[in-house]
């Protein structure tokens, strides 16, 4: 809420709360039969009531202005969003057109092989993923172990040799 709206709503609330005191005085004066005090109290009630209605009218106007401003702001945001979407769409179309016009230097099925410092190509360096167990080199503190697919370690014994005959 804007300050003008809030201030007027608070003013109307305060004016309505202030009406209670002269109304209480009016009721006490009526019980005693004091017409002069009753008239004076009703004058205060009318003044506070007018103030409350004025504040309410100002608050209503401020609320209407606020609603109009909010609608205008929302409209501008929608227009900006539509413009950004249109710009992004045209940029994407331009990039797509450039990609279609540029010549293709290599086919996707034949990747270019780069050579490292030793003259080996990438395909020669790649590790085989067919093996399920990998043996790590010996470290000074541990005996050699073999890791299985699940990540468990199995001690490897280089002295055991297997031979299979059919």
State pLDDT tens for residues 5-39. Answer: 888 888 888 888 889 999 999 999 999 999 999 99
* pLDDT tens sequence across 44-60: 999 999 989 999 899 99
Mean pLDDT for all residues in the chain: 79
Top pLDDT among 65 and 140 is at 65
pTM given for the model: 0.44
Hey, how many other C-beta atoms are within 10 angstroms of the C-beta on 41? 21
How far apart are the C-alpha atoms of 63 and 69, rounded to whole Å?
A: 10
Q: 115, 18, 12, 118: which is closest to 57 by C-alpha?
A: 12
CA gap 132, 125 in Å, rounded: 19
Quote the tokens at residue 13.
Answer: 């609330």
| Residues 4, 129: Cα–Cα separation, whole Å | 72
pLDDT at 152: 83
């Amino acid at each position: 809420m804007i300050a003008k709206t809030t201030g007027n709503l608070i003013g109307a609330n305060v004016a309505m709360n202030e009406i209670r005191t002269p109304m209480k005085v009016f009721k006490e004066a009526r019980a005693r039969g004091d017409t002069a005090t009753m008239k004076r109290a009703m004058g205060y009630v009318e003044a506070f009531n007018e103030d409350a209605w004025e504040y309410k009218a100002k608050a209503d106007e401020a609320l209407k202005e606020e609603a109009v401003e909010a609608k205008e702001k929302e409209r501008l945001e929608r227009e900006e969003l539509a413009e950004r979407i249109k710009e992004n769409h045209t940029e994407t179309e331009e990039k797509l057109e450039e990609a279609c016009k540029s010549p293709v230097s290599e086919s996707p099925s034949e990747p270019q092989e780069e050579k490292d410092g030793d003259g080996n190509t990438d395909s020669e360096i790649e590790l085989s993923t067919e093996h399920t167990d990998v043996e790590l080199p010996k470290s000074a503190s541990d005996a050699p172990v073999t890791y299985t697919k699940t990540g468990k370690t199995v001690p490897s014994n280089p002295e055991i040799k297997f031979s299979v005959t059919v």
